[in-house]
Amino acid sequence: MKYHDVIVVGGGLAGLRAAIEVNMHNLKAAVLSKVYPIRSHSIAAQGGINAPLGNHPRGGYDSWERHAFDTVKGSDYLADQDAVVTMIKDASERIYEMEHWGCPFSRNPEGKIAQRPFGGAGFPRTCFAADKTGHMLLHTLYEQAVKYEQAAERGELKIYNEWLITRLVVEDGVCRGVIALELATGNLEAFKADAVVFATGGCGRLYSNSTNALINTGMGMAVPYWAGIPLKDMEFVQFHPTTLYGSNILMTEGARGEGGYLTNNKGERFLANYPDSRKAMEVAPRDIVARSMTTEILEGRGFEDAYLHLDLRHLGEEKIATRLPGIRDICRKFLGIDPVDEAIPVQPGQHYTMGGIDCNKDGASRVKGFYAAGEAACVSVHGANRLGGNSLLETIVFGKIAGEHASNYIAAKADLGAGDKALADALAQEESKLEKLLGSDGPEDPSVLKEEMQNLMRDNVGIFRTKEGLSEAVPKIRELRERYKNIRLRHTGRSYNYDLMWNIELGGSLDVAEVVIAGALAREESRGSHFRRDFTKRDDDKFLKHTLAYYTPEEPKLEYSDVSLGYWEPKERKY
Amino acid sequence: MAEYIFEVFRFDPDADSKPRFDIFRVPPFKKGLTVLEALFYVQEKLDGSLAFRSSCREGACGSCAMHINGKYRLSCETQVKDLFSDKVVVQPLGHLRVLRDLVVDMEPFFAKYKYIMPFLMPGSPPPERERPQTVGDQMKVLPSVDCILCACCHASCTVTGTDPEYLGPAALLWADRFVRDSRDDALDERLRLVDQLHGIWRCHTIFSCQEVCPKDLDPTGAIADLKRRALRRKLLGQ
Ligand SMILES: Cc1cc2nc3c(=O)[nH]c(=O)nc-3n(C[C@H](O)[C@H](O)[C@H](O)COP(=O)(O)OP(=O)(O)OC[C@H]3O[C@@H](n4cnc5c(N)ncnc54)[C@H](O)[C@@H]3O)c2cc1C
Ligand code: FES
């Protein structure tokens, strides 16, 4: 049995930042990740990261209050306002820290970190590193992790590459560690820890039209859910307006921030025709733009009834080459077009998971010693809709906070190193489950189940939702969960058995998908990203509250909890 | 059109005495079909034992590099039709031990990267706000910072093949990225690490790294830059 003070699951931005924090507290931290850290989904973030630095000529009057207000308004008042304030007050310091650690941010003529406008923000406050901000940030944190992996001056920092966590071990309300599968050998192992931080990212691949990495299956949310920790606000799924037609690769919001146009098959900038987006046009918040686009396509003003145009041509080659080189590269490689000469075919697609593992603004959950951070967590700072550039911020702010609180918890913990028996029992159970799965010989082809789930989520739990569609999805997902019990694996070897890995994760995806559906059906209102055609208004009397879903073997059990207000009164969200 | 013929390298060191190629028929089931999507088709529909890595599917994470029809490339951003061939031959990265099929041992590659101290080493404690950097100075670390550590360059380098201890194009590119950063103050230390028997002088400027780099980076140029700086330091004391 391996033993570390703190185990961080996930090597993305949130996970690495948490591990570095634990390491700074002179504790032994281990990062477990199913891929090498720099292969995490954070690498793909393009547009930027928000902080009220006030470096832009038009940003001089920006302040934490304004940034926090934009965030709360953007969230359609579902965000916990104290948590938002915590995040924004810490934002500038975290950005400067990343800069001090070497992040190659783009600069303005004064030599300061450059900032640009982004959707839903009152001031240009999005810091960026060309259009590869996630890549630059993740490499910077990985570099710091590499530095302290070898250095003796602080606590231990160890990275376990290519381990899949299958189980969280909780004993009498106290977290004891995790069980993980080593992909190289196919062996399961128990990892004892006095605290565990989950930073496992979002679950975009519940949907067929997602911008997310293939590895974002939702397994990292299913594991704590199975261990009794509720998932919060899972019905809030952000759809990004501009994803590349065909592959749903993201075309950053920065492309619109830099002045790109959205046009329909008549060549009109159609956002002017919708009251919600008339003023802000292309930089209106994502949910609003995505809905206008979907309506446009449904009403026949799209191309091939499937996509619209993102037109950058008027920006000119130089601006496209210096500010949006990643976009240009993707267009060339995946479509064979150059945005300098041609408009880009785009359609809305699943993009971000606002919901997640229920935790508070310390990253702490209701299980002692169990923390969550980043996209996997729901603090909640994004509420019903996340503003572009705020989730990268969330990863480094709450990664640090979770690492800090986990470390403090350990400092005060009495029974350090306890839990051997619980871990051994859990390991034995996981062993027999794995044996059973490897020997499974049912009639169901798991790749078909996955496809059916992803299409169901896209069609029935997408941008526009109705009671009929959602009620239909409930028995359907249950049927898929049943059929999952009768799957057949195609390969029974142990070493690098990806068939096994993907299909263990499919079990997690199905259960998390069920939570999204249940939450969406129960929430009879429209708020932020959650749009019900049958309840088109926000209903604060009934639904100004967080959904909490608890695991039971039959179906998720829903409860609700209060939203923390106190700074700003809920108002109608208008742009 | 008819089907594509995929010839895929297979090897399980625990079970097989030697590697082999398996042949799979993959229909062009989707417009813009990529090699990665074709491999998933094989794994999900034809042979679940096929092992290969992937994550982002958009050329950003560096997981899926392999040898495809004569060239090291990222399988996720390689469209099958762009190969202009009905036959697609897929092999693992070279100069790295095969763990299974298309999965190779990346540890020696990362060890080299870690060896060159890939992190900023500034000479002074951090100011309260950002360290100032001019637009021009920031541009000097571009585009090297775009490296995704996919190891295409490592696999294509003939020197890496003959001298396993050679630091290789990726690690040296990263060394140069930090040397070029106006905020870094560790030139001596950095040159000491690369100006050695298995370092910069091993590069024979064959340019294969530059040719295969999916991000169009120029490790050969970066190595030349390090050579220049090392010479200047030695001869002129600059
Ligand atoms: C294409 C794209 C562009 C984006 N652009 C922006 C942007 O411009 N600005 C912005 O603010 N946000 C952006 N976002 C959102 C932002 O990138 C993510 O929310 C953020 O990077 C998530 O980071 P994370 O550390 O929480 O998780 P991730 O980076 O997703 O990391 C999750 C980690 O958990 C590991 N893991 C998961 N499950 C398991 C398991 N069961 N066992 C072991 N390991 C596991 C994975 O291996 C991985 O290391 C973008 C998102 C997308 C899809
Ligand atoms: S899967 Fe990420 S680069 Fe190919």
Does residue A280 sit in the same domain as residue A302? yes
Q: Residue B236: its pLDDT value, please?
A: 87
* CA proximity to B106, closest of B138, B150, B66, B70: B150
Q: Are strands A370-372 and A308-311 parallel, antiparallel or unpaired?
A: unpaired
Distance CA A439, CA A60 (A): 64
Query: Which DSSP string do the residues of B54-77 spell out, in sequence order?
Result: -S-SSSSS---EEEETTEEEEGGG
SS (H, E, C) A448-487: HHHHHHHHHHHHHCCCCECHHHHHHHHHHHHHHHHHHCCE
Q: How many domains does chain A have?
A: 2
For residue A336, is it within any domain?
yes
For residue A213, is it within any domain?
yes
Contacts of B119 in chain A (CB under 8 A): 101-102, 143-144, 146-147
Q: What residue ranges do the domains of chain B occupy?
A: 4-104, 107-236
> C-alpha distances in angstroms, A74 versus A77, A87, A211, A485, B222?
7, 15, 21, 41, 44
Mean pLDDT of B137-155: 96
Please give the distance, rounded to the nearest whole angstrom, from the Cα atom of residue B131 to the centre of ligand 1: 27
Residue B217 has pLDDT above 70, yes or no: yes
Does residue A329 sit in the same domain as residue A363? no
Contact criterion met (CB below 8 Å) for A179 and A485: no
> C-alpha distances in angstroms, B234 versus A340, A343, B190, B200, B228?
46, 53, 14, 14, 10
What residues form DSSP beta bridges with A174? A171, A368
The fraction of chain B above a pLDDT of 90, given in percent, is 95
Mean pLDDT of B145-163: 96
Q: Report which ligand 2 atom has the smallest distance to the Cα of B55.
A: 1
Does residue A382 sit in the same domain as residue A505? yes
End-to-end alpha carbon distance in chain B: 62
Catalytic residue (choose from A286, A301, A481, A483): A286
* CA proximity to A359, closest of A347, A376, A343, A342: A376
Tokens standing for residue B118: 């890939």
CATH number, domain containing residue A409: 3.50.50.60
Distance CA A327, CA A281 (A): 21
For residue A92, is it within any domain?
no
Does residue A251 sit in the same domain as residue A230? no
Would you state the torsion angle of the CA atoms of residues A272, A277, A281, A283, taken in this order, to the nearest 10 degrees?
-170
Q: Residue A395: its pLDDT value, please?
A: 98
Does residue A328 sit in the same domain as residue A314? yes
Does residue A426 sit in the same domain as residue A526? yes
Residue A117 has pLDDT above 90, yes or no: no
Q: Is B60 in the pocket of ligand 2 (CB under 6 A)?
A: yes
Does residue A371 sit in the same domain as residue A269? no
Test B145 with A498 for CB contact under 8 angstroms.
no
Q: Residue A498: its pLDDT value, please?
A: 96
Tens of pLDDT along A364-412? Answer: 999 999 999 999 999 999 999 999 899 999 999 999 999 999 999 999 9
Whether A286 is a known active-site residue: answer yes
- Domain end, chosen from A348, A378, A395, is at A348
Residue B1 has pLDDT above 70, yes or no: no
Please give the distance, rounded to the nearest whole angstrom, from the Cα atom of residue A198 to the centre of ligand 1: 12
Mean pLDDT of A219-234: 98
Mean pLDDT of A405-424: 97
The distance of B88 to chain A (nearest Cα, Å) reads 18
Does residue A250 sit in the same domain as residue A282? yes
Q: Give this complex's ipTM.
A: 0.97
A16 interfacial to chain B (CB closer than 8 Å) = no
CATH match of B107-236 with 1.10.510.10: no
For residue A7, is it within any domain?
yes
Q: Is A71 in the pocket of ligand 1 (CB under 6 A)?
A: no
Distance CA A446, CA B14 (A): 27
Does residue A483 sit in the same domain as residue A535? yes
Q: Residue A240: its pLDDT value, please?
A: 94
For residues A345-354, one letter each, b for 16 or more C-beta atoms within 10 angstroms of the residue's C-beta and e for the rest, the string is bbbbbbbbbb
Does residue A261 sit in the same domain as residue A289? yes
The fraction of chain A above a pLDDT of 70, given in percent, is 100
Q: Is A44 in the pocket of ligand 1 (CB under 6 A)?
A: yes
Written out in words, the top-level CATH class of the domain with range B4-104 is alpha beta
pTM of the model: 0.97
Does residue A336 sit in the same domain as residue A372? no
Tokens standing for residue B102: 């298309």
* Structural domain boundaries, residue A167: 1-43+136-236+354-541
Q: Is the dihedral of CA A370, A427, A421, A2 positive or negative?
A: negative
Contact criterion met (CB below 8 Å) for B179 and B187: yes
Does residue A326 sit in the same domain as residue A420? no
Q: Which stretch of A53-62, A67-76, A292-301, B121-130 has the lowest confidence by average pLDDT?
A: A53-62
Distance CA A95, CA A391 (A): 13
